[in-house]
């Protein structure tokens, strides 16, 4: 369905201004597309000292290129606004951003307020801790201070675990991922519970990566997707067309290797995070299903 819609847009070329609705009309009239980007979601969307880069940031820019073609506006301006896990959805709903392709989990609950694209990454929820702490699984966190990032699906999973298993964890919610990992580094928390690729990113880029371990039986499996406003089928078709074409053509796998198995900016660190069978299956069969 997404591929068919994409083909229809491509064959038709740029559309007339009076045919536009929703986000595409807003972008056309404003002369700018506004992207919500992350500051430290390595390697998805992060600042490398020069600009925003990453796996999902590249997907966002591919979508921007398709918007330019569809609108017939090759000089369309792109404006980036840094968002956090807590403010990304309000900023979307308040028309402060048009599209967010960072590290946002598509959940059934979030479908009530926002729309989500075909998924571009599937992952497990785990934790990072100091190797010297001896922590290997979530039961080891009983009675200890644990950090996660405010406004994330991981925070909900962690609090549910704490209640269900009577672990009596002292859970703190950091403003962003960088602040959360800093709490572990400063020994203000024994573990940072978050999406597996995010914590692998912090471990790999830390000056002392061997001091840390990514561990724990997965709390669950989730997917990342781009987020945009609800009730906008033309924009959904455009976004999904770009993602599905990349996944079925092999471009998504090449992009994955670039950001997860090769040196990345700014310091040339390699995350050494091979493509999973779950992501390989996702690329073969693009879809927009939440996993929770």
Rounded mean pLDDT of 97-107? 97
Q: What is the mean pLDDT of residues 3-13?
A: 41
**Percent share of the chain, pLDDT over 90:** 92
What is the pLDDT at residue 11?
33
Indicate the helix (H) or strand (E) that contains 204.
Answer: helix 196-205
Per-residue pLDDT for 2 more than 60? no
Query: Among 236, 190, 222, which residue's Cα sits nearest to residue 123?
Result: 222
Question: Going by C-beta distance under 8 Å and a sequence separation of 6 or more, which residues neighbour residue 290?
Answer: 106, 107, 108, 110, 111, 116, 223
Residue 5's pLDDT is what?
41
Distance, CA of 236 to CA of 208 (rounded, Å) = 42
The β-bridge relationship of strands 45-47 and 40-41 is antiparallel
**CATH code for the structural domain at 124-221:** 3.40.190.10
Sketch the domain layout of the chain as residue ranges: 2-122+223-284, 124-221
Taking only the tens place, the pLDDT of each residue in 213-260 is 999 999 999 999 999 999 999 999 999 999 999 999 999 999 999 999
Report DSSP state, residue 152. Answer: S
Beta strands in 175-220 (DSSP E): 191-195, 212-215
Matching CATH topology for 2-122+223-284 and 124-221? yes
Task: For Cα atoms 20, 24, 29, give the angle at the middle one, nearest 5 degrees.
Answer: 80
Superfamily of domain 2-122+223-284: Periplasmic binding protein-like II (3.40.190.10)
Instruction: Please state, in angstroms and as integers, the Cα–Cα distance from residue 239 to each residue in 108, 161, 202, 234, 236, following that order.
Output: 19, 35, 29, 9, 5
Q: In this predicted structure, which of 116-125, 161-170, 196-205 has the lowest mean pLDDT?
A: 196-205
Tell me: the pLDDT tens digits for 122-142? 999 999 999 999 999 999 999
34 - beta bridge partners?
79
**pLDDT value of position 14:** 62
Mean pLDDT of the residues in the chain: 94
Q: What is the pLDDT of residues 160-186, one digit of tens each?
A: 999 999 999 999 999 999 999 999 999
């Amino acid at each position: 369905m997404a591929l068919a819609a994409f083909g229809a847009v491509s064959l038709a070329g740029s559309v007339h201004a009076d045919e536009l609705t929703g986000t595409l009309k807003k972008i056309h009239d404003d002369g700018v597309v506004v992207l919500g980007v992350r500051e430290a979601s390595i390697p998805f969307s992060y600042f490398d000292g020069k600009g925003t880069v990453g796996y999902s940031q590249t997907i966002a820019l591919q979508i921007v290129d398709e918007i330019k073609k569809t609108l017939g506006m090759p000089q369309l301006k792109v404006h980036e606004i840094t968002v956090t896990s807590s403010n990304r959805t309000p900023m979307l709903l308040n028309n402060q951003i048009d599209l967010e392709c960072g590290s946002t989990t598509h959940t059934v609950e979030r479908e009530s307020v926002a729309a989500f694209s075909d998924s571009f990454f599937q992952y497990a929820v785990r934790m990072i801790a100091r190797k010297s702490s001896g922590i290997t699984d979530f039961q080891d966190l009983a009675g200890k201070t644990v950090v996660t990032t405010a406004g994330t699906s991981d925070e909900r999973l962690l609090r549910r675990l704490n209640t269900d298993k009577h672990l009596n964890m002292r859970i703190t919610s950091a403003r962003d991922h960088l602040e959360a990992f800093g709490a572990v580094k400063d020994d203000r928390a024994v573990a940072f519970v978050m999406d597996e690729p995010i914590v692998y990113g912090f471990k790999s880029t830390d000056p002392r990566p061997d001091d840390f371990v990514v561990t724990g039986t997965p709390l669950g499996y989730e997917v990342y997707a781009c987020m945009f406003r609800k009730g906008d089928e033309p924009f959904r078709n455009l976004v999904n067309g770009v993602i599905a074409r990349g996944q079925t053509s092999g471009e998504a796998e090449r992009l994955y290797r670039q950001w997860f198995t090769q040196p990345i900016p700014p310091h040339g660190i390699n995350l050494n995070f091979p493509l999973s069978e779950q992501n390989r299956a996702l690329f073969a069969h693009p879809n927009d299903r939440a996993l929770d």
